[in-house]
Amino acid sequence: MVSRTSFSICLLLLSGLAAASGPKGRFPEPLEKYEMPPMYIYRLESSPRMVSPYGPFVSYQVNVDANGMNIVGDAANEPSISVDPTNGNKIAIGWRQFNTYTSNFRQAGYGYSTDAGITWHFPGVLQNNVFRSDPVTNSDETGNFFYLSLLVTTFCGDIWRSTNGGQSWTERSPDGGAYSGDKEWFTVDRTPASMGHGFQYQFWTEFYACDFGGFSRSTDGGATWQTPISIPNSPQWGTLDVASNGNLFIGGGDSGSSFWCIRSTNAQNPAVTPTFDQVTTVNMGGSLWYGPPVNPDGLAGQIFLVVDRSGGPTNNNIYMMASVRPTGFSTGTDVMFARSTNGGLSFSAPLRINDDPINHNKYHFFGTLAVAPNGRIDSVWMDTRNAANNTDSQLFYAYSTDGGVSWAPNVAVSNSFTPLEGWPQQNKIGDYITIVSDNTGGDVAYAATYNFNPSRGQHEQDVYYVRVAPGAPVAQSAFSRKAHGGAGTFDVPLPLTGNVGVECRSGGATNDYQMIINFATSVTVESASVTSGTGSVSSFSVSGSQVTVNLTGVTNVQTITVTLHNVNDGTSTGDVPVSMGVLVGDVNGNAAVNASDVSLTKSQVGVAVSGSNFREDVNANGAINSVDVAQVKANVGTALPP
Ligand SMILES: [Ca+2]
Ligand SMILES: [Ca+2]
Ligand SMILES: [Ca+2]
Ligand SMILES: [Ca+2]
């Protein structure tokens, strides 16, 4: 056993260990290494904190000084976020804090927010002047936060607890008392009905560990930990989660193309030493990658495993995600996802979550995911699709409401930044980012380089918070509907994208129209109003997935936009606008009334009104006659404004 009290002996042993151990084919050294000592910092300047909006998504800087200002010249990465499940205003983030980019000496930084991530406070580090790394935070179901931190000098970790939303932290054990090892991760059983409720489970890279073994359990909230044991296949660079029945699932790999989901059904039983009863190989469509061009001394991403505890139809589904270099290629990475609906016995084929055209010059990295209590899956990652240099990155977001079978279109949620500046004498922007989801969205912690340090002539690494959420429900179709006397009801399509649909029929004495808007599923609508153009909503109603809006006072020769406010389909909420061109007499719908419309109407005089000629019944009375021809003639020369 490596002594945890003798510092120098430990270092000697570790250097020998690092050279000698690690099975063939595995990454040959630990990701974390003890390197430079603390550096005397003689001056710290500040600048305004960065707030970086991108459309409706606003990124707020987390690593700020006591005055809420950016610290110029520091570096921060590898953020791990926790959110109080009982009060989403309370958020904490732990990260690797480098007090100056001129040294890779790093400490366990932490920050907290009490206003849902808008304002951040950075009281300091867990232990001053102690080299710590690989921060991992988590929350129990009542909002106690835990922080697992690795002492890189010994590869021993310890758990800290905060009962005030991350404002202060107390060490649960002696320094290094949680065993641990390089690239460790932990989780908490949050299900009150589980036998293992409150237990903490931890695994790490077995070859670069504090002690022997790669797994340990704490049954007392992180104060004491069982003697480590080995996990089949010695998985590394992954995460773990607990199902609602207390079963533990570990997602890890061999640092290359092998990925596993490993189950323990008895880790929740405090009377036994845990065993692992199921090892499933999972195809993630490629290989993990240490040292991609976007993160030269780090990973393209670790492996994430999460379990659905929604209690609904997707309950106990297991989801795995990895950012991999596709099999057979030497460049580029994709964010890949696989799901199990049978307790980890088997997994789906890998699904590519980034939806841009396949391009092996592009990097989609640091992919991570979380499951909301209602079963929605949120995923975020760094994405170079929009960068000519293939390295400048934006945070992207996608979600799934059907257990990962299908995913919403990808949405960029941040401005572009370079991951290649601001390095703290270690050529990386960390190895991971993290997200926690609730029923309406996700809270994300990520590192980015929006601030510019003029004295270095580079952007600097800082930690950011951003809230992501599904956008408004998407309307499937819309129509302008009129009853044509006894001939029936006919609809003019109102396309939701591209050229506006043209309503050519007149609105009667009070210029009335009716819009029909269809959604994929049942919705509720808070209100409806005319948000551009002339006219007003006289009434609206919702029936299942269909919304009917009655308009009055709609003037001719305009484009009018009706907005449905706070449309909610049970997953997402937002405003949905629908536009209609109003041009009476434009029976051929080309946005101008001229001789063609007159002759077209004349050609249908006396013909019964049907689905193919209802536009020529301009006054919608159920007959096409000289009155309609006269109405078209009266409008010749009008056109929709561009
Ligand atoms: Ca800074
Ligand atoms: Ca790390
Ligand atoms: Ca026309
Ligand atoms: Ca008519």
List 514's β-bridge partners, or say none. Answer: 550
Ion ligand 3 residue ranges (Cβ < 5 Å): 586, 588, 590, 597
What's the gap in Å between 334 CA and the centre of ligand 2? 21
Sort 440 into a burial class: Cβ within 10 Å, 0-12 / 13-18 / 19+.
middle
pLDDT band at 39 (very low <50, low <70, confident <90, very high): confident
What's the gap in Å between 502 CA and the centre of ligand 3? 10
**Residue 11: pLDDT above 90?**
no
What's the gap in Å between 19 CA and the centre of ligand 2? 19
Tell me the ligand closest to 64's alpha carbon.
Answer: 1
What's the gap in Å between 447 CA and the centre of ligand 1? 11
Six token digits for residue 303 = 């492996």
At 361-375, the pLDDT tens digits run 999 999 999 999 999
Looking up tokens 């189950």 gives: 263
**Rounded-to-integer distance, Cα 506 and Cα 619, Å:** 5
From 368, 466, 377, 370, select the one nearest 417 (Cα to Cα).
466
**Residue 6: pLDDT above 80?**
no
At 281-323, the pLDDT tens digits run 999 999 999 999 999 999 999 999 999 999 999 999 999 999 9
Q: What is the pLDDT of residue 642?
A: 84
Structural domains of the chain, with CATH = 15-468 (2.120.10.10), 475-634 (2.60.40.1220)
**Residue 500: pLDDT above 50?**
yes
What's the gap in Å between 561 CA and the centre of ligand 4? 27
What's the gap in Å between 97 CA and the centre of ligand 1? 10
**Rounded-to-integer distance, Cα 274 and Cα 214, Å:** 12
**Rounded-to-integer distance, Cα 344 and Cα 281, Å:** 10
What's the gap in Å between 559 CA and the centre of ligand 3? 16
Q: How far apart are the first and last CA of the chain?
A: 78
What's the gap in Å between 78 CA and the centre of ligand 2? 7
DSSP of 5-68, one letter per residue?
Answer: S-HHHHHHHHHHHHHH-S-TTS-SS-S----PPP------EEEPPPEEEETTEEEEE-SB-TTS
Tell me the ligand closest to 463's alpha carbon.
Answer: 1
Average pLDDT over residues 2-16: 41
**Residue 437: pLDDT above 50?**
yes
Helix (H, G, I), strand (E, B) or coil at 519: strand
**Contact, 487 vs 617, CB < 8 A?**
yes
pTM for the full predicted model:
0.80
From 236, 253, 260, 381, select the one nearest 318 (Cα to Cα).
260
Contact residues for 606 (Cβ-Cβ < 8 A; gap 6+): 624, 625
Tell me the ligand closest to 185's alpha carbon.
Answer: 2
At 521-559, the pLDDT tens digits run 999 999 999 999 999 999 999 999 999 999 999 999 999
**Rounded-to-integer distance, Cα 427 and Cα 391, Å:** 14
Share of the chain above pLDDT 70, in %: 96
List 398's β-bridge partners, or say none. Answer: 379
Query: Rg of the chain's alpha carbons, rounded to an integer?
Result: 30
pLDDT band at 575 (very low <50, low <70, confident <90, very high): confident
pLDDT band at 498 (very low <50, low <70, confident <90, very high): confident
At 508-519, the pLDDT tens digits run 999 999 999 999
From 519, 516, 515, select the one nearest 476 (Cα to Cα).
519
What's the gap in Å between 597 CA and the centre of ligand 3? 5
Helix axes 595-603, 626-635, angle to 10 degrees: 170
Q: What is the pLDDT of residue 18?
A: 41
**Rounded-to-integer distance, Cα 456 and Cα 458, Å:** 5
**Rounded-to-integer distance, Cα 372 and Cα 319, Å:** 13
What's the gap in Å between 486 CA and the centre of ligand 4? 11
What's the gap in Å between 76 CA and the centre of ligand 1? 7
Looking up tokens 């193309």 gives: 257
Ion ligand 1 residue ranges (Cβ < 5 Å): 70-71, 74, 460, 462
Tell me the ligand closest to 592's alpha carbon.
Answer: 3
**Contact, 636 vs 598, CB < 8 A?**
yes
Q: How many helices (H) and strands (E) does the chain have?
A: 3, 42
At 149-189, the pLDDT tens digits run 999 999 999 999 999 999 999 999 999 999 999 999 999 99
Sequence letter at residue 472: A
Angle at 364 between CA 358 and CA 365, to 5 degrees: 155
Q: Would strands 121-125 and 132-139 be described as parallel, antiparallel, or unpaired? A: unpaired
